Amino acid sequence: MAIRNILNKKDETLHKVCKPVIKFDARLHTLLDDMAETLAKANGVGLAAPQVGILRRLVIIDTYDGTGVHELVNPEILWKSDETQRVQEGCLSCPGEWGYTVRPKKVRFRAQDRNGTWYEQEAEDLFAQAVCHELDHLDGVLFLEKVVEFIDPKDMEE
């Protein structure tokens, strides 16, 4: 495994739409493992492939709730709750920038695992927020475009 460089918001790669993953092989497994190691070292909740320079539809999420790292390959949101949550958000590609976004409280998504098997899962609270944030990356959208109010880092909630 290896630590990958996380691209900064100014990199054009982060503003492009990603292509589907079509090969489920050792290279994909290495990328997912590297992304998990990179995420852990960066102390983040989620990481999308374009953030490490790969324009493919895959993300990893770890909400540190004991369920481990979630790997979402070719993910798509199937349903969003009408109930929303106003949440504090940041991004590993936008260091030092924080803001409040409004995200669905719950989402249902489908994705493939590292071997290509499709599954569906419901997510709520932080996990739902992370799914929405990371899937935005796959469409070239940064959280900064979703912020309803920016936060001065010194005023951050714990």
Residues taking part in catalysis? 134
**Measured CA distances, 148 to 86, 89, 102, 137 (Å):** 9, 11, 7, 18
List the structure tokens of 101: 């976004």
Where do we find the tokens 């999308």? 48
Backbone torsions φ then ψ of 24, nearest 5 degrees: -110, 90
DSSP for 69-88, written as a single string: -EEEEEEEEEEE-S-EEEEE
* Rounded CA separation 151/116 (Å): 39
Strand 84-89 vs strand 98-104: parallel, antiparallel, or unpaired?
antiparallel
